[in-house]
Chain A
Amino acid sequence: MKRFDGETLVADVSCIVLGALFAIALAVLAARLKEVQVQDTADYRYAYSRQAVRRVQLAGARGRILARGGEVLAGNRMSVSIVCDAAAFQEKTWNATVERIGKAIDAVAEVTRKPSPLDTDDIRRHVNRSLAMPLYVWRDVDHETLARFAENEELFEGFEAVVSEERHYPYGSVAAHLVGYVGRDRADAVAGDEKFNFFNPEMRGRAGVEHYYDSFLKGVPGESKLLVDARGFAIEETIVVEPRPGPDLTLTIDMRAQLAAEKELRGEKGACVVMDPRSGEVLAMVSAPGYDLNSFVPGITHDLYDRYMSDIGKPLLNRAAGGLYAPGSIFKPVVALAGLKLGYPPDETCECTGVYILGKMRIRCASRWGHGAVDMRSAIMKSCNPYFCNLGMDIGTNAIVSAAYELGLGAKTGIDFGLDSAGVIPDADWKMRTYGEKWFMGDLAQMSIGQGMLLVSPLQMARMAGAIGTGYLVTPKLLPGTGTERRKIGFSRRSLDVVRDGMRLVVTGGTGRRAGRGLAVDLCGKTGTAEIGKGETRRKNTWFIAYAPAREPSVAIAMLVENGDSGGGTAAPKARNVLAALFGERSDAQ
């Protein structure tokens, strides 16, 4: 009996101890749970959002590019794409999921009669890298395709038509090189920003103003949050910050001049730059042949791009700002100014016999039998080669080179545009550096008439024409209202007036007569015909530069036509028509 009592005591104590142990153990659990659930909540919530929330950068609409009259050169249009949500095609394995998505796309393709642009690898790449994002199958679909899709939408679970914005160029190929085009980065190529997991690829300017002013035009990106499940499929999307459109960009382009120049250069290879010599505002910039900007939307096809690249006309080349040409006779005013600066008497005459002979070199004049006695004004008017060869020989290379630099040649113009060729103003140093040869008198003679190794861009020439007219060299610009940068050129008023007189004579009775015919404005100009190549490949690049009105000029123009007949016959009439668009035709009553 005694022993049993002892047993009972042990058992009783055991019951109490065990109950207490249970209570303590549960309290320990509670204490640990308090740590996890109360103290460390923030850590675990962060860990949760790290794995379950994907941040997506949303592209904002790109700002428009307008001409000065408000004409839309580049805008946006609604674009409908058919996208696929991978979450609707979940399978146990990734391979099966990819296969199922592929089959579903094929099923839609059959109804919309539009073959799938994606292959299995594309789908697999999407599943591997951006599963949570919609898979863009058909971008920018046409109305018919969309109609066929919409009619059968309920059959296509997991597919959706989504609206986005695409770039649109209402004028097509007009000002193509100026406006430029956009492209989209691949969604997975924009990595580097830790903040976002995914990007809605933004349009990026790839050429022209679209490229140069890309950061101005581009929209303000927004942000959305994607909730993804453990496998990475998107469950829901919340917009955190709405994207905002970028600001519009108004250019200095005057559509009257732009369209007229486009028309004149249609079917030609050439370029035209029209600018306001007072402010530097570019009124027109044309390069021909051009290309349709819309062919780059939503993305240019490889075939077309290859065709552009292999075209001998080089349609993607911007001849106006980037093309370099021998100036030919339009360089003569530079030589004239160089001479005047050194005190060369403009009224002194020189006998033109139709050819200038320097050792074995014979430089022919436009007039076969010679112009006879010419002074500087008439030499400019008639574009007399021997006169300028003589002048050049008198004043020397350095005088011409410094005059050329003074007029903005041989250096970038400083235009707010990606392309801005400096060109070449050769001298003895340059020739030695480039060719390892000495500078000969023949080089000087060639340079005196704008031939030889001189290279200039149409933009530079328009700027130079303006500078002669105003006495100031301005920096060309594409945005109105921004400050004017200009520099007084280092030639006396008397010197300039001589050249102006000569250039006036060019259009009233000289080589550029056809440029002034019937225009409601007086202008001063200079023709140029630069010969390139010899024999079979001999071609002539024809130029006409001008400013108008003759007093207080407000417009300067450079017109270049490759493979023309002559500056006066080919380029001058085209330049005239462009100026007519700005100043009007002279009424017959006058």
Chain B
Amino acid sequence: MIAKLKRFNLVMFVAMLALIAIGTIAIHSAGNARAEAVFHGMWVNNLASAAFGLVVYLALSFFDYRKFLDWFSLPAYIGAIVLLAAVLVFGSTVYGGKRWLWFFQPSEISKLCVISFMAWLFGAKREKPRTSFAWFAAALAIIGVPAALILAEPDLGTTLTLVPACLVILFVAGVWRRGLVTIALVGAIGAAAVLGAVWEAEKPGVSEERRAAILKYVPLKAHQVKRVKVFLFPDEDQLGAGYNLRQAKISIGSGGMTGKGIGKGETNHLKYLPQAISMNDFIFCVWAEETGFIGSLVLLLLFGAIVVPGCWTAFVSTDAAGRLLALGVSTLVFAHVYVNIAMSIGLVPITGLPLPFISSGRTFLVTVMAGLGLVQSVSVHREDKQK
């Protein structure tokens, strides 16, 4: 037990606790700005979820992840698929998306289920490494089914964060690496082509026919095109489609170096920051406005203190499954952090995506804490290399 405690990564753990504290404060600020009383107590809910998450975290940290993967990863994956299907049938609709089943969002849990299943599938010790094209195709199916179900909700953001995590796992596991790299490159070129096409279609002075003709070939829905357009031309239509991004930037920018003081975020309290998402996708704005650049920096350092040690844990892990698990979870968390913050300052198009630990939402909070518990378990249960 002492040995286990010695391998317990304290940096990750403390950073996580600090982020939970920041999240609770930010949720308190964002909730108080809302007219509806139900949001005023949201920070208490967050603390309660964090407490439950902490139990899960510690339990998973001191439970050997190998056993966890062997016993639970397949059933968890199948369970996730069932829940995702169920949510499409029985789920309740909130803000235009069908994401809720009873009291939780299956799509959040499913991310971790897919990652752990992939880590088990390609990391567990076997006679013959699973690196063929056939296994790659199988992996695509394994990712594709839940991804399609999540996309159907629709929840593009969740899909977008799951894909890079899975790609990292496949790359490190060496599954059809040459093809994988090619596909990744083709994907990047494709994304650039889509951006370029939207630019051509939406730039000022383009006729309506030409716009329609170009957009016919762009595989995006109308509201997604609009978001990409806002990303490309942020100064246009600041009261319409560009309103959210504009207000997010005003919130963040007006915070200045030291911020306006905790609980004193003007744009938040005067409801300029879109209220529907100030507690979720735009909560970074609330924090950045109230604590300024210093607060933003602290937040980034704390996230760094989680994802970088996550990669370190993968590096020092002697076991392929542990390595894949740590990398997968770290990538997942990083993708959320990066996309969420980058979208609110216009570095990437707006995508509905929560910020880990900070956004209000118990399913996601517990899921991320469980994922980090698994990373901690990889750290705790590693074997010394000298042995």
A is bound by B: yes
Interface residues of A (CB under 8 A from B): 7, 10-12, 14-16, 18-19, 22-23, 25-26, 29-30, 32-34, 36-38, 40-41, 43-45, 47-48, 51-52, 90, 227-231, 235
User: Which residues in B have their C-beta under 8 angstroms from that of A30?
Assistant: 296-297, 300
Q: Give B81 Cβ to nearest chain A Cβ, in Å.
A: 28
**Chain A residues within 8 Å of B308, by CB:** 19, 22-23
A511 to chain B, nearest CB (A): 80
Find chain B residues with CB under 8 A from A38 CB.
256-257, 293
Q: How many A-B residue pairs have CB under 8 A?
A: 128
Q: Is B249 a contact of A228 with CB atoms below 8 Å? A: no
B80 contacts A by Cβ under 8 Å: no
Residues of chain B whose beta carbon lies under 8 Å from any beta carbon of chain A? 35, 129, 168, 171-172, 174, 249-250, 252-257, 266-267, 270-272, 288, 292-293, 296-297, 300, 303-304, 307-308, 310-312, 314-315, 320, 323, 327, 330-331, 334, 337-338, 341-342, 345, 347
Contact of A22 among B35, B171, B250, B330 (CB under 8 A): B330
Distance from A237 Cβ to chain B, minimum over Cβ atoms (Å): 14
Quick check: B270 and A18 within 8 Å, CB to CB? no
B176 to chain A, nearest CB (A): 14
Instruction: Please list 19 pairs of residues, one from A and one from B, whose beta carbons are closer than 8 Å in the complex, sorted by A's number.
Output: A10-B174, A11-B174, A18-B330, A19-B310, A19-B312, A22-B307, A25-B334, A30-B296, A30-B297, A34-B293, A37-B252, A37-B255, A38-B257, A41-B257, A47-B253, A48-B250, A52-B266, A52-B272, A227-B266
A18–B337 CA distance with the chains assembled, in angstroms: 15
Name the contact of B338 in the complex, choosing from A7, A29, A51, A227 (C-beta under 8 A): A29
In the bound assembly, the distance between CA atoms of A221 and B311 in angstroms comes to 65
A29 touches B253 (CB 8 A): no
The 8 A-B residue pairs with the shortest CB-CB distance in the complex, in nearest-first order: A44-B253, A19-B311, A15-B315, A37-B293, A230-B271, A229-B270, A41-B256, A44-B254
Distance in angstroms between the alpha carbons of A14 and B331 in the assembled complex: 12
B252 touches A33 (CB 8 A): yes
Cβ contact within 8 Å between A29 and B323? no
Smallest CB separation, B382 vs chain A (Å): 13
Q: Find chain B residues with CB under 8 A from A90 CB.
A: 35
Query: Are B168 and A230 touching (Cβ within 8 A)?
Result: no
Nearest residue, chain A, Cβ from B338: A25
Q: Looking across the interface, which residue of chain B has its beta carbon closest to that of A40?
A: B253
Cβ B270 vs Cβ A230 within 8 A: yes
CB distance from B116 to the nearest CB of A (A): 18
**Alpha-carbon distance A16/B313, docked complex (angstroms):** 10
CB distance from B30 to the nearest CB of A (A): 14
Contact A32 B174 (CB under 8 A): no
Query: Per DSSP, are chain A's interface residues mostly helix, strand or loop, or mixed?
Result: helix
Inter-chain CA distance A40–B288, complex, in Å, is 14
Pairwise interchain contact B252-A36, C-beta atoms closer than 8 A: yes
> How far is B320's CA from A519's CA once the two chains are assembled, in angstroms?
127
**A7→B347 CA distance, assembly (Å):** 35
Central interface residue in B171, B296, B307, B311, by most chain A CB within 10 Å: B311
- A23-B304, A26-B338, A29-B342 are contacts. A15–B314 as well, Cβ < 8 Å? yes
Residues of B within 8 A of A36 (CB): 249, 252-253, 345
Identify which of A7, A34, A41, A52 contacts B129 (C-beta below 8 A): A7
**CB contact under 8 A between A51 and B272, given known A25-B338, A33-B288:** yes
A539 to chain B, nearest CB (A): 68
User: Is the beta-carbon distance between B272 and A230 smaller than 8 angstroms?
Assistant: yes
Q: Identify 6 new A-B residue pairs, CB closer than 8 A, beyond the known A41-B255, A51-B272.
A: A12-B315, A18-B327, A19-B311, A29-B300, A33-B341, A230-B271
User: How near does chain A come to B168, taking the closest CB pair, in angstroms?
Assistant: 7
What is the CB-to-nearest-CB distance from A41 to chain B, in angstroms, rounded to a whole number?
4
Of the candidates A15, A33, A229, which one forms a contact with B311 in the assembled complex, judged by CB atoms under 8 Å apart?
Answer: A15
**B320 — which chain A residues lie within 8 A by C-beta?**
11
Chain B residues with CB below 8 A from A47, complex form: 250, 253-254
Q: How far is the CA of A228 from the CA of B266 in the complex (A)?
A: 10
The answer to whether B271 and A231 have CB atoms under 8 Å apart is: yes
Residue of B nearest to A45 (CB): B254
- Looking at the assembled complex, report how far the CB atom of A36 sits from the nearest CB atom of chain B, in whole angstroms: 5
Docked pose: A128 CA to B311 CA in angstroms: 56
Chain A residues lying within 8 Å of B256, measured Cβ to Cβ, are 37-38, 41, 45
Assess the B331–A32 pair: CB atoms within 8 A: no
Choose from B168, B254, B300 the contact partner of A41 (Cβ within 8 Å): B254
Q: Known: A29-B338, A38-B256. Contact between A22 and B174, CB under 8 A? A: no
| Complex CA distance for A19 and B255, rounded to whole angstroms | 30
Q: How far is the CB of A88 from chain B (nearest CB, A)?
A: 12
> Contacts A44-B254, A230-B270 hold; do A29 and B341 have CB atoms under 8 A apart?
yes
Q: Which of B270, B327, B345 has the most CB of A within 10 A?
A: B270
Chain A: minimal CB distance from B204 (Å): 22
